[in-house]
A and B are shown apart, each in its own frame.
Chain A
Amino acid sequence: GAGVSQSPSNKVTEKGKDVELRCDPISGHTALYWYRQRLGQGLEFLIYFQGNSAPDKSGLPSDRFSAERTGESVSTLTIQRTQQEDSAVYLCASSPRTGLYEQYFGPGTRLTVT
């Protein structure tokens, strides 16, 4: 079946502009996660959605970052007034449910802020 998909695969933007990154989770997966991976580093948790519950936003680095999810489908991560330190790969993952289950990752969006 189809895996997690993300778009765009690459995004180059000028400092100060807003960007929107999209994630399509695996159908039927109720949990969706966003992570950030800076060059040469591990993954940092940003935000997670589970069904209709309030999202866990504890990993968002600043109020320039926000994310939405419509039901149990598509999610968008928005970064306003981008800064150079926002340059990273943004990875989305989904999981059948919460708990001790593996997360399935998308290919990521590489964001470069110039």
Chain B
Amino acid sequence: AQKITQTQPGMFVQEKEAVTLDCTYDTSDPSYGLFWYKQPSSGEMIFLIYQGSYDQQNATEGRYSLNFQKARKSANLVISASQLGDSAMYFCAMREVYNTDKLIFGTGTRLQVFP
């Protein structure tokens, strides 16, 4: 079974608008972390935001926020006020405390921001 599912292979958004990138996960570990990374065309992986399974509030980092719905096992990334530089691949990933220490990645969503 897929541990991390990103159902949107591609998304388009107009500059200055908000966009939500979907991510659902599957784990039986009570302690886990959810991460979002951005990968521009240059190929580097840039850490954006983190949500711990026990965090009571949704994580926010500047224009990025994470809509964490634990019961639904979803961790959607919301980008507000999109910029042209936000065009990139976005990966959702999970780390399970009791299942080694690797990051398990989804297949990614390609976001394109247009003027």
Contacts and interface: CB of A to CB of B under 8 A. Distances in A.
Residue from the set A33, A43, A89 with the largest chain B CB neighbour count within 10 Å? A43
Contacts of B47: 102-105
Residue from the set A44, A95, A100, A108 with the largest chain B CB neighbour count within 10 Å? A100
Nearest to A47: B102
A111 to B, nearest CB: 13
Q: How large is the interface on B (under 10, 10 to 19, 20 to 34, 35 or more residues)?
A: 20 to 34
26 contacts: A33-B101, A33-B102, A35-B105, A42-B106, A43-B45, A43-B91, A43-B103, A45-B104, A56-B102, A58-B100, A93-B45, A93-B103, A95-B101, A98-B101, A99-B101, A100-B32, A100-B52, A100-B97, A102-B47, A103-B47, A103-B103, A105-B44, A107-B43, A108-B43, A108-B44, A110-B43
Interchain residue pairs A-B with the least CB separation, the first 8: A100-B33, A105-B45, A45-B102, A42-B105, A43-B105, A102-B47, A98-B101, A42-B107
> SS class of chain A's interface: helix, strand, loop or mixed?
strand
Interface string A21-59: 000000000010101000001111100101000001011
B103 A45 contact: yes
